[in-house]
Amino acid sequence: MESLYPTLSFLKLRASYGSVGNQNTYLSSIYRIMSSSSSEWLIDGNNQVTVGTPGALPSSLTWETVTTLDVGLDARFFNNKLGMTFDWYERTVSDMHSSGITLPSSFGTSSPRRNYGELQTKGWELSLDYKHQFDNDLKVSALVTLTDFKEKLTKYSNTTKGITSNYEGKVLGEIWGYETDRFFTEDDFNSDGSYANGVADQSLFETNGWFKYGPGDVKFKDLNGDGVIDYGSRTVGDSGDMKVIGNSTPRYQYGIQLGADFKGIDLSVFMQGVGKRDFWANGPVFIPGYRYGEGWYEHQLDHWTPENTNAYYPRPNDQGQSNSSMNFLPQTKYLLNMSYLRMKNITLGYSFPESVLNKLRVNKLRLYLSGENLFEISGVQIPVDPEVDYTNAGTNDTSSFGRVYPFRRSYSFGLQLSL
Amino acid sequence: MKTIYKISLFFLSLTVLVGCEDDLLDVPPQDMLVDETYWSSEGNVKTFAFGFYTGYFKGYGSGYTWGNYFSGQTLNDDFAPTNPSRFALQVPTSGGGWGFGWVRKANIFINRVQTVPMEQEAIDHWTGIGRFFRAMEYHDLVARFGDVPYYDQELSEEDNEQLYKTRDDRTFVMDKVLEDLQFAATNVRASVDNNGLEVNKDVVLAFMSRIMLYEGTWQKYHENNSAKASEYLEAAKWAADQIINSGNYSLGNYRAVFNSLSLKSNPEVILYKEYESGLLTHALNSYNNKEPQTGISKNAIESYLTEDGLPISLSPLYQGDQGIDNVMANRDGRIYETFVSSELRINGVAPNHSTTGIATHKFLNESIKDDPIGSSNLNPTDAPIIRYGEVLLNYIEAVAELATLGGAAVSQGDLDRSINVLRDRVGVNLPHLQVLGDMPAVGGIVYDDPKRDQDVPALLWEVRRERRVELIMEGYRLDDLKRWKKLAYVDMVANPEINRGAWIKKSDYPESELKDITLTDGDEGYIIPASASASLRVFDNERVYLSPIPLDQITLYKDQGVTLEQNPGWE
């Protein structure tokens, strides 16, 4: 081993394995909790308090078990200048408290939870750091971190395997949808409005009585080639032309920190980002024509017209406040790509040399210029920040997507003085 | 190094060798109410009991719902909507009202009350309250589905025998309901902390008269079981009689029962629901005020007597139905308190129009009609839950039905303590109903309504008329028709009169305003609210007397090798 020194200056292999009861469970699964609420029955202007009926107590419920396996490697190279830490882990929640067996209504309440199901999280974390001082006093440093994980239900009691429900094999965050083909053209229809020969029939989604697919509307790909765009029974294995088109769990989260120091001048840069994240949003910022009669955003003006068939958005339509019908069924084309790289901070500073300090009789004097959230590079197709969500004010209010305050860009200039 | 080993060995031995007693570790959460520790005082029992109130005493609802009042129930022969609601056509895959959550709640309540540290009298009272609500729920289930499995205790998830129990005969269930009601009537306190706002003995008795009248008449008309019919009708009569004899109630102003800001001192109300601005409000007043409304049918308007106590077709006082003034001339006083008699409100002419032209103001408080609280969902008027007027009607109907089952004939005394009390109410202004032989009479002269349904004896016809008029738009009519086996009345093809409104002449109005109105004879005639023939409701299948059992339940039973039978006609 000596011979590897100083190329490999430090090496440690780590492994740990442990299992513990999951304390993160709902008390209502274990105790017959009677939560209090207002009865909406007034007596002399007082809303009478009441309590709920206690739920059923499970006859044989025991702890969920969290088992964690972690394998790690720490290494340093070139006289400790370059370091690396790597961890791979697998976290398994077994005997999950999942829905009980289906009981008839005669039971009178929801069936008690039981231990069934397993959720597995596999992930890894990598961090690299580097430090170097040049002969001319220039010091540089870098720290890069990268993490990723994926959660999958490895066991679940659901025999029907509905694609919107939990089922064995489900990757958490997955988004089911259709593959966008193109816009319909005149040629896709016969003169009576019916689908021309060889064009997959989408009439299954013409459910509201007034919307009929026509030129300028979104045409989906007939993945199973049966001549009809459909969703089968919306179950795994019979999902018609639907497939998993993305996942809303952030993947490959990373951070980069760079620093340099030269003769009193210091520079530090911090960037942060997400490598991959998909999102099927809702609301008028995302969907043009979300509400009948509401104004359209500027980015939505590139819509299909007979003259502008190469547009980004389909023919204008009243989407009836829906992100799962007509032209905005979940689909690949409009699925938001929420990956990004954000310049979180750049700071440039200058510390005055000792000679100046002595004259001024101070210990330290530093001038700096700093900027926060300076810019981001993002793949998102609409003008929203890649980290936005719905507002908290109206939780689940679908109209609020993209209407939140974005991250504030701020620039600051300062003087640091210690006596 | 050695000390470290010693110390760690010490801590290791602590965890391995020193165990805890089970109950020390198993402490229910101290910051929450749990079943194990909740049942410790009568106050807690009472708090739990309020959980039943909103389930059974909906009153005028809240927000934009109004329970069964007014157009909350339009599937009947009183209302003439433009889009009539229809009978169910399909068996639901799940739900459909087949639920036992309330039964479970009542059973848990009854069970827990027994061990609460309080006087035996209190245990009996609260047991009675629990059994009262269990009876209410089983009555609802039986009225909807007929035979249902009967449970008198909470089920365990492993008790398959009970969980997959087949349906008990409705008579078996209703015998249990009667037992519960009898127990409640004996043990529930006559006076409670807030009479009128909490269940007391009178509330139990009043509901008992309603429930037993329902089942008694059902047994007579549907099951042909005169023995059970008599037994239940006797119970209904007994319960109503208790209230009448108590002398606790009397009748005040009719409309004040429905439009008062407070029902606290109303002499007629046995139980009411309090509303208060900012806390709990409803929208029923608004929909009798400035909003368009579903109107009353011609058929229902014509069931009101004229002020001489005679049906319109027999009375010389009847002025015909051309023009609202004529319709409203010389009638049963309740017609003026229920309907707007000064004007017709036609679609296209009045913003607050009625589908039939005749508007309802039974639930409108005139003093707040221009205030903010008189509109939208901000109405604070109190809602009657059960009232003396209904008890009187339950009484006389039970007596009249018993007479047809071999009981004593209806006496003048029976009428005088029931229907004639209603007719003596201030503002009603009707002569007493008399019985001569077994026929109805006024002023000593026997009469027989030519419009009478020939299946119904003349006196019973008058009892039913009184019930319809007194309780109109209070959500009873559909139940009444069901138990009398008279759903045929709601067939709009066979009974076009229930799809007719006021008589008008188009030339009386600017033509452009009436483009949405269809009349029976072109330019004049009766308004036809539901003018599209495809929208007319028909009654062509007896199966709708009972609701279908949801399919998922039948399948679940089948998986266990048990047959949960579907109701007839729904298989």
pLDDT band at residue B11 using 50, 70 and 90 as cut-offs: low
* Residue A102 confidence class, pLDDT cut points 50, 70, 90: confident
Question: Of B408, B415, B363, nearest to B392 (Cα)?
Answer: B415
Residue B395: enclosing H or E segment and its boundaries? helix B388-404
Q: Which residue on chain B is closest to A100 by alpha carbon?
A: B157
pLDDT tens digits, one per residue of A242-288: 999 999 999 999 999 999 999 999 999 999 999 999 999 988 899 99
- Banded pLDDT at B66 (limits 50, 70, 90): confident
Q: At what angle do helices B201-218 and B226-246 cross, to 10 degrees?
A: 150
pLDDT classification of B176: cutoffs 50, 70, 90: very high
Q: Please determine, for residue B129, whether its predicted confidence score (pLDDT) is greater than 90.
A: yes
Round the average pLDDT of chain B to a whole number and report it. 93
What was the pLDDT predicted at A396?
A: 60
Residue of A23, A34, A103 to mutate for B, most B C-beta atoms under 10 A: A34
Q: First and final CA of chain A: distance in angstroms?
A: 51
Q: How far apart are CA B349 and CA B333, in angstroms?
A: 27
Euclidean distance between CA atoms B397 and B456, whole angstroms: 13
Minimal C-alpha gap between B3 and chain A (Å): 26
* Nearest beta carbon to residue B197 from set A43, A47, A103: A43
Write the pLDDT tens digit of every residue in B88-123: 888 988 889 999 999 999 999 999 999 999 999 999
Average pLDDT over residues B147-175: 95
Residue A78's CB is within 10 A of a number of other CB atoms, namely 13
A40 and B35 within 8 Å at the Cβ level: the answer is no
Q: What is the pLDDT of residue A401?
A: 84
pLDDT score recorded for residue B17? 52
Residue-level pLDDT at A57:
80
- CB-CB neighbors (< 8 A) of B155 in chain A: 106-108
pLDDT higher at A30 or B189: B189
Check pLDDT > 60 for residue B18: no
Residues B108, A54: C-beta atoms closer than 8 Å: yes
Highest mean pLDDT among A110-114, A254-258, A374-378: A254-258
Candidates A105, A111, A113, A159: best to mutate against B (most CBs of B within 10 A) is A105
Tokens 């951070």, residue located: A255
Higher-confidence residue of A324 and B393: namely: B393
Query: Which of the residues A29, A37, A46, A53 would you substitute to probe the B interface, choosing the one with the greatest number of B C-beta atoms within 10 Å?
Result: A53
Evaluate if residue A23 carries a pLDDT over 70: yes
- The pLDDT of residue A9 is 87
The nearest CA of chain B is from the CA of A195 a distance in Å of: 31
DSSP letter at B359 equals P
Residues β-bridged to residue A143: A129, A257
- Average of pLDDT values for B467-495? 97
Torsion of CA B213, B217, B222, B223, to 10 degrees: 80
Which residue among B35, B164, B276 places its CB closest to the CB of A42? B276
Query: What pLDDT, on a 0 to 100 scale, did the predictor assign at position B178?
Result: 98
Residues in B closer than 8 angstroms to A105, CB to CB, are 98-100, 550, 553
Q: Where are the alpha helices (DSSP H) in A76-205?
A: none
Please compute the mean of the pLDDT values over residues A324-338 and round it to a whole number.
Answer: 94
What span, in angstroms and rounded, lies between the C-alpha atoms of A196 and A215? 12
pLDDT at A367 exceeding the cut of 60: yes
B144 touches chain A (CB under 8 A): no
| Candidates B29, B47, B100; nearest CB to A51 | B47
* ipTM here: 0.90
Pairing of strands B383-387, B434-436: unpaired
Can you spell out the DSSP letters for B505-548? EGGGS-GGGGTT--EEETTEEEE-SS--GGG------GGGGSPP
Q: Which residues of A touch B36 (CB under 8 A)?
A: 31-32
A180 falls in which pLDDT band (50, 70, 90)?
very high
- Chain A contact set for B38 (CB, 8 A): 34, 51, 54
Q: How far is CA B382 from CA A125, B61, B196, B267, in A?
A: 64, 11, 12, 14
Q: Which amino acid is at B489?
A: Y
What's residue B25's pLDDT? Answer: 63
> In this predicted structure, what is the pLDDT of residue A391?
63
Q: Give the separation between CA B94 and CA B103, rounded to whole angstroms.
A: 19
**pLDDT greater than 90 at residue A82:** yes
Q: Answer yes or no: do B280 and A53 touch at CB < 8 A.
A: no
Give every CB contact of residue B553 below 8 A, 6+ residues apart in sequence: A104, A105, B94, B98, B564
What per-residue confidence (pLDDT) applies to B407? 92
| Angstrom distance (rounded) from CA B433 to CA B445 | 10
Where does the pLDDT of residue B13 fall: very low under 50, low under 70, confident under 90, or very high at 90 and above?
A: low
Whole-number Å distance between alpha carbons of A217 and A317: 9
Q: Which long-range contacts (CB under 8 A, 24 or more apart) does B166-170 make?
A: B166/B562, B166/B563, B166/B564, B166/B565, B167/B564, B167/B565, B170/B142, B170/B146, B170/B223
The average pLDDT across B146-168 equals: 94
Size of interface A-B (CB pairs under 8 A): 133
Nearest CA among B243, B233, B231, B142 for reference residue B185: B243
Q: CB-based contact (8 Å) between B274 and chain A?
A: yes
Give the pLDDT confidence score for residue A115 in this predicted structure: 87
Q: What 8-state DSSP symbol labels residue B308?
A: T
The pLDDT-based confidence of B527 (bands split at 50, 70, 90) is very high
Asked if pLDDT for residue A24 goes beyond 80, the answer is no
State pLDDT tens for residues A116-151.
889 999 999 999 999 999 999 899 999 999 999 999
Q: Do A48 and B50 touch (CB under 8 A)?
A: yes
From CA B485, how far away is CA B489, in angstroms rounded?
A: 10
Phi–psi pair at B299, nearest 5 degrees = -60, -40
Burial (Cβ within 10 Å: 0-12, 13-18, ≥19) of residue B199: buried
The pLDDT tens digits of the residues spanning A197-217 come to: 889 999 889 887 778 899 999
Give the other-Cβ count within 10 Å of A46's Cβ. 12
> Coil, strand, or helix at residue B36?
helix
Asked whether residue B22 carries a pLDDT value surpassing 60, the answer given is no
Question: Phi, psi at residue A32, to the nearest 5°?
Answer: -85, 80
Contact call for residues B537 and B144 (beta carbons, < 8 A)? no
DSSP result, A57-103: PPSS----EEEEEEEEEEEEETTTTEEEEEEEEEEEEES-EE-----
- Average pLDDT value for residue range A163-191: 92
The pLDDT of residue B135 is 98
Q: Of residues A413 and A400, which shows the higher confidence score?
A: A413
A104 vs B contacts (CB less than 8 Å)? 163-164, 553, 556-557
CB B570 within 8 A of CB B548: yes
Nearest CA in chain B to A108: B101
What tens digit of pLDDT does each residue of B546-557 get? 999 999 899 989
pLDDT above 80 for B15: no
Tell me the pLDDT tens digit for each residue of B346-360.
Answer: 998 999 999 999 999
The pLDDT tens digits of the residues spanning B374-423 come to: 999 999 999 999 999 999 999 999 999 999 999 999 999 999 999 999 99
Q: Residue B172 pLDDT more than 90?
A: yes
- What CA–CA distance (Å, rounded) separates B508 from B524? 10
Query: Are the C-beta atoms of B275 and B379 separated by less than 8 Å?
Result: yes
Q: Please tell me the predicted confidence (pLDDT) of residue A30.
A: 79
Beta strand segments in B265-415, E: 269-273, 295-296, 383-387
Q: pLDDT digit string (tens) for A386-399?
A: 887 766 555 567 77
**Is-cis flag, bond preceding A406, omega within 30?**
no
Output the pLDDT for position A117: 87
A405 pLDDT band, cuts 50/70/90, is confident
User: What is the reported pLDDT for B82?
Assistant: 92
Q: Is the pLDDT of residue B190 over 70?
A: yes
Taking the C-alpha atoms of residue B128 and residue B133, their distance in angstroms, rounded to an integer, is 9
